Amino acid sequence: MFAAGHTVLRRTDGSTHQWPVHRWCDTDADDLDRQFDTLVADRCRGSTIDLGCGPGRLVDVLVTRRIIALGVDSSGVAVSMARARGVSVLHRDIHGPLPGEGRWTTALLIDGNIGIGGAPDRVLARAAQLVRPGGTVLVEIDPEVEHIEYDEVRVEGERYASTWFPWARIGLLGAESLCHGCGLTIRQTWAHAGRQVVEMIRT
């Protein structure tokens, strides 16, 4: 999934869209990608846990700002890449036991990670559990989706294809409908270079 080269995400209807491996790995990322990461980091004002952190680029950005940060990812390859760059990452399912539950200032669900497992309600509830009262959850949503779309997808590269797995895409209305059941309220939304983030606060 983190191999170099042209990689796409294929849906069951046959459509594909670019799987931005270069962005996650911070290889050949453009200025707009880096500006987006800076805007995310600007909103992490205390200890931050990055759920589905991939190769750890956002954790790296936060650590350079002297912010306590921890990444979590279920991919052994991603975790190895993150550790190679010197950042703290756990190789775990985000729904398993994690350090500091209920005490983090910020939880990140960036790069579409709200869709993990095709269960955005469960993922968002987990993020809410991890932050302290008054803490924030930053969720990148899909501006092409109005509410929530569920599907089976697979990752395809030039020489490989993953197995099919459940995924979800969530839009602004979907974020609004899910957050209240998780003890979260929307503080604000912001966008940059076609990417959109919802900032939620734990009440």
Residue of 177 and 77 predicted with greater confidence: 177
Pairing between β-strand 89-91 and β-strand 131-141 as defined by DSSP bridges: unpaired
- Give me the architecture of the 31-151+163-202 domain, per CATH: 3-Layer(aba) Sandwich (3.40)
Phi, psi of 122, deg, nearest 5: -70, -40
In this prediction, residues 37-52 reach a mean pLDDT of: 96
In this prediction, residues 16-37 reach a mean pLDDT of: 76
CA 159 to CA 144: how far, in whole Å? 29
Domain boundaries, the chain: 31-151+163-202
pTM for this entry:
0.92
Range from 92-106, 120-134, 157-171 carrying the lowest mean pLDDT: 157-171
Q: Is the pLDDT of residue 130 over 70?
A: yes
CA 59 to CA 113: how far, in whole Å? 15
CB contact at 8 A, 175 and 199: no
Q: What is the pLDDT of residue 158?
A: 81
CB contact at 8 A, 50 and 57: no
Residue of 60 and 26 predicted with greater confidence: 60
Q: Is the pLDDT of residue 27 over 80?
A: no
**Which residues is 71 bridged to in the sheet?**
50, 89
Nearest CA to 51 among 95, 15, 2?
Answer: 95
In this prediction, residues 182-192 reach a mean pLDDT of: 97
Q: Is the pLDDT of residue 4 over 60?
A: no
Range from 1-5, 11-15, 95-99, 176-180 carrying the lowest mean pLDDT: 1-5
